[in-house]
Amino acid sequence: MTDHTRSATPFRVAALQMVSTPDVARNLAEAGRLIAEAAGDGAQLVLLPEYFCFMGHRDTDKLALAEPYRDGPIQQFLAQAAQRHGIWVIGGTLPLKAPEADRVLNTTLVFDPSGREAARYDKIHLFNFEKGDESFDEARTIRAGETVVTFDAPFGRVGLSVCYDLRFPELYRRMGDCALIVVPSAFTYTTGRAHWEMLLRARAVENQCYVLAAAQGGKHENGRRTWGHSMLVDPWGEIVAVRDEGASVVTGALDPQRIADVRQSLPAWRHRVLA
């Protein structure tokens, strides 16, 4: 297993939990407040949740807000926040225009401390769920991405995924040797209560790396309730920090030595037979 943890110095990371609304300006103001709080607490990398900028009343509402790639106020907000605080900002997801007029891309954009775009990931796996009064089908309004994406940070490789992606371990194997996997999410209360923590811990244990998950967490103006429980999980599957519901900042240290120790004591990656 090639070691992609570059620095031996612990790197402080933060997951920002939100309860986003249909008001983009209000959401950006709240995101800006949380980013500033995290940066003030020493965070060098922050992760926003899925749909941090907008949680509409209908799935189709996001079509009107979709921005052209590299052009729009939401993307400008993320770049400026990274530059202002001198930190890495992983922008949850935002809707970008797709080739089809009736679809958007659910996209994660990463900005480095200078405000330069470092990576883009379009969500691959689209959520579909039917149980009782709950019904979700992201494929109605979202075009699925096709490319697995990682980027290099000072502490090592970071793998990008979004929400429902968490249920597909083969995605994370395709990322290779990561020091950190991020999972911006908007898990429903039903699925989150049942599976969220176990899936995050499983991905951390399987890949022997840290997992940082930023979630929507609470009752939204559109009536939807999301699970929250944003957290940082270490390579042994232990929860470093977690918050249950409500807008909050979850901070913790990514320790490269912890990754090295786990991989040395249990070299599971090297023992793979069916890779």
pLDDT > 70 fraction of the chain, expressed in percent and rounded? 97
Considering the candidates 67, 97, 123, 245, report the single residue annotated as catalytic.
Answer: 123
Can you tell me the mean pLDDT for 217-221?
97
pTM: 0.96
Residue 18, pLDDT > 80, answer: yes
pLDDT > 90 fraction of the chain, expressed in percent and rounded? 90
pLDDT at 5: 52
Determine whether 50 is an active site residue.
yes
Give the residue with greater pLDDT, 135 vs 73. Answer: 73
pLDDT at 1: 42
Can you tell me the mean pLDDT for 131-155?
91
Confidence bin at 2 (pLDDT 50/70/90): very low
Considering the candidates 50, 67, 138, 245, report the single residue annotated as catalytic.
Answer: 50
Determine whether 62 is an active site residue.
no
Residue 114, pLDDT > 60, answer: yes
For the segment 95-109, what is each residue's pLDDT rounded down to a tens digit? 999 999 999 999 999
pLDDT at 7: 72
Determine whether 130 is an active site residue.
no
Can you tell me the mean pLDDT for 61-74?
97
Spelled out in words, what is the top-level CATH class assigned to the domain 11-266?
alpha beta
Can you tell me the mean pLDDT for 235-243?
99
Considering the candidates 62, 97, 138, 163, report the single residue annotated as catalytic.
Answer: 163
Q: What is the DSSP string of the chain?
A: -------SS-EEEEEEEB---S-HHHHHHHHHHHHHHHHHTT-SEEEPPTTTT---SSTTHHHHHPBPTT-SHHHHHHHHHHHHHTSEEE---EEEE-SSTT-EEEEEEEE-TTS-EEEEEE--SPPEEEETTEEEEGGGTBPPP----EEEETTEEEEE--GGGGG-HHHHHHT-S-SEEE--B--BHHHIIIIIHHHHHHHHHHHTSEEEE-BBEEE-TTS-EEE--EEEE-TTS-EEEEE-SSSEEEEEEE-HHHHHHHHHH--GGGG-S--
pLDDT at 131: 77
For the segment 163-210, what is each residue's pLDDT rounded down to a tens digit? 999 999 999 999 999 999 999 999 999 999 999 999 999 999 999 999
Give me the chain's average pLDDT, please. 96
